[in-house]
């Protein structure tokens, strides 16, 4: 049955994000609060912020990465897995940023989370015949340089940009680690 492979979560995120951008609900999102304890304690913030974009150009750019990677990850796992990964990663990223005094706006962290998870899952499929130790070493060898490259981009970009490079980095790192746990745990000991 092909129904589990229909990327419902991927399309739902596009629809809700587009609706949020079309109706310009950024003001409703945080109820006027952009920093402080209200953001940290607001559970609504941790779910709705992943549907926000700076503008239509940012929306389109996010969707160019979101759609192929979210669809591919859905085909490799399931809709439930993609939903859990994206929401879990977004909550962790948002919590770290809110505690650090930074508000994250946008789907970018979730996009980078899906990219990392797809990279890890594809590596796990490619390394099916190897031992668990080799798989772990390979995953570290894949994730460390890419995370370091994102860190370098964040440092080089500086603070003059409206893009949340810290959100990208945290989303990528959290999802990479979470997906690695899934991939390694599903492997039989050899």
The candidate with the shortest Cα–Cα distance to 82, out of 52, 60, 113, is 113
DSSP E strands, the chain: none
Residue 35 in domain: yes
pLDDT at residue number 31: 46
Residue 136 in domain: yes
What CA–CA distance (Å, rounded) separates 16 from 13? 5
Determine the Cα angle at 50 with ends 151 and 168, to 5°: 5
**pLDDT of 78 higher than 80:** yes
DSSP element (H, E) containing 174: helix 165-185
What CA–CA distance (Å, rounded) separates 32 from 52? 15
Residue 190 in domain: no
Per the structure, how many domains does the chain have?
1
Q: Is the Cβ–Cβ distance between 26 and 45 less than 8 Å?
A: no
Q: What is the mean pLDDT of the chain?
A: 80
Q: What is the pLDDT of residues 7-41, one digit of tens each?
A: 888 888 878 777 777 766 554 444 444 555 555 66
Residue 13 in domain: yes
What CA–CA distance (Å, rounded) separates 39 from 177? 26
pLDDT at residue number 184: 94
Residue 16 token pair? 């809700």
Share above pLDDT 90 across residues of the chain, in percent, rounded to a whole number: 35
**Which range, 19-28, 37-46, 73-82, 160-169, is most confident?**
73-82
pLDDT class of 63 with cuts at 50, 70, 90: confident
Give residue 75's domain range: 3-185
Which CATH number characterizes residue 45's domain?
A: 1.20.1540.10
pLDDT at residue number 46: 67
Share above pLDDT 70 across residues of the chain, in percent, rounded to a whole number: 74
Residue 15 in domain: yes
Q: Say if pTM beats, i.e. exceeds, 0.85.
A: no
């Amino acid at each position: 049955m092909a129904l589990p492979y229909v990327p419902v979560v991927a399309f739902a995120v596009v629809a809700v994000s587009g609706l949020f951008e079309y109706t310009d609900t950024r003001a409703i999102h945080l109820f006027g609060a952009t920093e402080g304890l209200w953001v940290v304690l607001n559970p609504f913030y941790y779910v709705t912020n992943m549907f926000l974009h700076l503008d239509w150009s940012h929306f389109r750019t996010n969707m160019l990465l979101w759609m192929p990677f979210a669809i591919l990850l859905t085909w490799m796992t399931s809709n439930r897995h993609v939903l859990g990964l994206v929401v879990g990663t977004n909550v962790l990223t948002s919590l770290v940023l809110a505690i650090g005094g930074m508000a994250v706006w946008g789907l970018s962290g979730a996009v980078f989370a899906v990219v990392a998870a797809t990279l890890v899952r594809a590596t796990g499929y490619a390394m099916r015949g190897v031992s668990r130790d080799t798989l772990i070493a390979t995953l570290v060898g894949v994730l460390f340089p890419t995370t370091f490259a994102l860190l370098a981009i964040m440092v080089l970009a500086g603070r003059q940009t409206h893009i949340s490079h810290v959100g990208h980095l945290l989303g990528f790192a959290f999802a990479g680690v979470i997906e690695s746990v899934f991939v390694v745990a599903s492997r039989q000991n050899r």
